[in-house]
A and B are shown apart, each in its own frame.
Chain A
Amino acid sequence: MNEHARGPLDALKSIMKRQYIWGIVAIALLLLINVIKEPTYLAISVGHNGHLVGNVIDILRSAAPVMMIAVGMCLVVATKGIDLSVGSLMAVAGAVAMEFLRAAPNTPGAAFGALGLVIVVTGALGAINGILVSVVGLQPFISTLVLMLAGRGLAKVITGGQNTSASNDVFRWFANGYVFGVPVVFVLALAIVIVVGLVVRRSALGLMIEAIGMDPKAARLAGINRRALLLTVYIAGGVLAGFAGVFATATVMTVDVSRTGYLLELDAILAVVIGGTSLAGGKFNITGAAIGAVLIATLDKTVVFLGVSSSASPAFKAIVIVALVLLQSERVRRMFRQRRAARPAKREVVAA
């Protein structure tokens, strides 16, 4: 993000260098495969309520929850952390929402009340992660692992082990409604991506997050408030997981305490890595994470469309994560560097 604005050609060139270009290429490839199987795959038509209908719309709609948690995961990973609890927090969000709405009247007020309650609860759980990591100093994977498992237990306790259903028209509209013909869910996810992206880049937040991810000691000595930043990113992660959980349950107005958000943290991590953010922390890319989320949704839909069982996808995704992490690893990078013809490197004396 450091380029001085030059001509449009240079702008295009700089986009080409971004890592998420591979994500876009992969999406295109997958769509191509689907089109080969069914030439009308990409068709978008206008349905009877003025809604856009089509496979692409379905992809965008199912990508939305992953986009939300991927944005949160992106920020957490940038600080050299990880959040394994997002899937479970989605279940908690669903549990809280459904239990609240079951007892509440079918009014818009109740819907927004449920939303507000969810944000408070998942934000608080995210804050627990943040406190454990920043104040107590636990390794992020341990504290979020604990919350991942305790969170699902909490969801079960909230619903008493049942898959609670509720009905609330406005709430249902969150997930199934359309605005200007486009699914509300996707519009909201896109809005989140844009807002977070702007906040992070227009303010100094982005630089500070990168600094504490790259070198926590140096960042602290430079006066950056590491604790506050860590707390913020984990709370944000929790809140975004809350949103995602709301949308995941609002589609069917039921929370499945075992399955809601199950293994979705994998999707979020994968999206973040596809988008060009390294798991080692430091430079991050929200746009890339969003594109990664769309790629995953496309992958999921393609797998089903081609007739393979959907329970196979975690295995594929695991392989993709491993492949990407390997590509990011030093050893593999070195192998590629040695292959490239050695250009005479500028000799500079770098003192210890």
Chain B
Amino acid sequence: MSALLTTPTSAPQQQPRGFRSLLQRVSHHVEALPTAASVVIFIGMLVYGEIAYGRILQASTLSNLLINNAHLILLAVGLTFVILTGGIDLSVGAVIACSSVAGVMLINAGWNPWLAMVLMVLIGTAFGAVSGVLIQYFNVQPFIATLAMMFLGRGLASILSTQPVRLGDDSAARLLSTKIKIIDGPKVNDLVITPSVIIAALVVVIAFVILHRTRTGRTVYAIGGSEQSASLMGLPVAATKLWVYVISGSLAGLAAVLYTARLGSAQNITGLGWELDAIAAAVIGGTLLTGGAGFVLGSVIGALVLGLMNVLITRDGGIPPEATTIITGGILLVFVLLQRAVLAKQRE
């Protein structure tokens, strides 16, 4: 009788001992493995970066990592919801462009900046709602519906303005980007965060609570596992599927607010390729593209991995910046292939 095993699955079976029982435990939570792997990868990259380039594991670098990727974290969280249900949202980058251009133009036209920021989020909500309706009620495939929304967003952004639009330097909209020193380190090596980072952290916490402690959140996972079963179990499948796209769109709108606050300007070509970054962040963090498995914390790690990758590439200097999309694409591909391999092994 094994002393390690505390969760027997059947009475008359031989209790596995020692290592095998550990393996069994692990196999029962195999869906958390990829996320654990992403944490390991992140730490590994930090260590490698420190050894290879130096000045990585320090307050200012880490602060900038968070500040510069707050918007990507929001996108990754939003996309996690969508991908968990087995769908996809290709419109988030375009939504950011459309929302930020519209917002800045409104502020420059004299609108109350706070009102304009709320509107920026709502623009994202609107895009998400349209996607959700097309997908849920008209059975349009998610990638087609959100692809159309992506083009609509880019088109609208271009209609609004093809030139960059700038915020005034003292605009209230930039407030979210004010740096708050937490730890005053030597010279410029301070631990700094911005309200944007705090907002992103809050969103992550709320997302976690929703996904793991509410019926809607569990329904999201259920839909990804088997939409038909979830429906037969009486879960609110239709409403939930609509919600995940609304969430994704709204978070894209919020990301637009944070990004515009940091940059101080907006342009119709903003966000090109960010949907791929968000998808990559989710996949690296252990979210299965087929749905039903993944953790929002993993997506956050995935976003940070990508951000750190950018830092390391810049630090290296040997790789041209144009190559980053290729590398991101390559990493995404590798992870997707790994997921497939793990799934195939599991099925045996």
* A and B held together in a complex: yes
Chain A contacts to B: CB under 8 angstroms: 82, 84, 132, 136-139, 141-143, 145-147, 149-150, 152-154, 156-157, 160-161, 263, 266, 269, 279-280, 309, 311-319, 321-322, 325-326, 329-332
Cα(A309)–Cα(B161), bound, Å: 11
9 smallest CB-CB distances across A and B, nearest first, come from: A315-B155, A314-B155, A311-B158, A153-B325, A150-B329, A156-B322, A318-B152, A318-B151, A153-B326
CB distance from B129 to the nearest CB of A (A): 14
Using CB atoms, name the residue of chain A closest to B277: A149
* A88 CB to nearest chain B CB (Å): 10
Q: Could you list some 26 contacts between A and B, CB below 8 A?
A: A82-B144, A132-B333, A138-B336, A142-B279, A142-B336, A146-B332, A147-B329, A149-B325, A153-B325, A157-B320, A160-B322, A161-B322, A263-B154, A266-B151, A269-B147, A280-B141, A311-B268, A313-B155, A314-B151, A314-B155, A315-B158, A315-B159, A325-B140, A326-B134, A329-B138, A331-B138
Shortest Cβ distance from A151 into chain B, in angstroms? 9
Whether the pair B155, A154 counts as a contact (CB closer than 8 A) is no
Closest A-chain residue to B328, C-beta based?
A149
A314 to chain B, nearest CB (A): 3
Check A145 against B320 for contact (C-beta < 8 Å).
Answer: no
A249 to chain B, nearest CB (A): 18
Check A161–B276 contact: CB distance below 8 A: no
Chain B min CB distance to A220 (Å): 18
Please tell me which one of the listed residues A139, A146, A266, A332 contacts residue B276 in the complex, with CB atoms under 8 A apart.
A146
Q: Provided the pairs A145-B276, A279-B141, A309-B159 are in contact, do residues A150 and B152 lie with their beta carbons within 8 angstroms?
A: no
Q: Which residues of the partner chain B approach A142 to less than 8 Å between Cβ atoms?
A: 279, 289, 336
With A132-B333, A145-B279, A318-B151 known, 17 other A-B pairs at CB within 8 A are A142-B336, A143-B333, A146-B329, A147-B329, A153-B322, A157-B323, A309-B159, A311-B155, A311-B158, A314-B158, A315-B156, A318-B152, A318-B155, A319-B152, A322-B134, A325-B144, A329-B139
Closest Cβ of chain A to B304, distance in Å, is: 20
Residue of B134, B152, B320, B325 near A161 (CB, 8 A) is: B320
| B137 x A139 contact (CB < 8 A) | no
Per-position 1/0 for B312-333, Cβ under 8 A of A: 0000000010111110111011
Whether the pair A314, B154 counts as a contact (CB closer than 8 A) is yes
Give complex CA distance A154, B158 in Å: 25
Residues of B within 8 A of A266 (CB): 147, 151
The residues of B with any CB-CB pair to A shorter than 8 Å are: 88, 90, 134, 137-141, 143-145, 147-149, 151-152, 154-156, 158-159, 162, 268, 273, 276, 279, 289, 320, 322-326, 328-330, 332-333, 336-337, 340
CB-contact partner of A332 in B138, B141, B279, B324, under 8 A = B138
Please indicate the chain B residues that have their CB under 8 angstroms from the CB of A154 in the complex. 326
How far apart are the CA atoms of A1 and B142 in the complex, in Å?
31
Contact A141–B139 (Cβ < 8 Å) = no
B148/A145 in contact, CB under 8 A: no
Q: Which residue of A lies closest to B290 (CB)?
A: A139
CA distance A13 to B152 in the complex (A): 37
Question: What residue of chain A has the Cβ atom nearest to residue B138's Cβ?
Answer: A329
CB contacts (< 8 Å) of A309 on chain B: these are: 158-159
Contact residues in B for A314 (Cβ distance below 8 Å): 151-152, 154-155, 158
Knowing A153-B323, A161-B322, the reply to whether A322 touches B156 (Cβ < 8 A) is no
Contact indicator B325/A141 (Cβ below 8 Å): no
Interface centre among B147, B148, B289 (most CB of A within 10 A): B148
The reply to whether A318 and B148 contact each other, CB–CB distance below 8 Å, is yes
Check A329–B155 contact: CB distance below 8 A. Answer: no
Q: How far is the CA of A280 from the CA of B149 in the complex (A)?
A: 19
Taking a contact as CB atoms under 8 Å apart, the answer to whether A141 and B323 are in contact is: no
Residues of A contacting B333 in the complex (Cβ-Cβ under 8 angstroms) = 132, 143, 146
| Least CB distance, A211 to chain B, in whole angstroms | 21
A149-B273, A322-B148 known; A330-B139 Cβ under 8 A: yes
Q: How far is the CB of B135 from chain A (nearest CB, A)?
A: 11
When C-beta atoms are compared, the residue in chain A nearest to B134 turns out to be A322
**Min C-beta distance of B84 to chain A, whole Å:** 16
In the complex, what residue of chain A is closest to B324 when comparing beta carbons?
A153
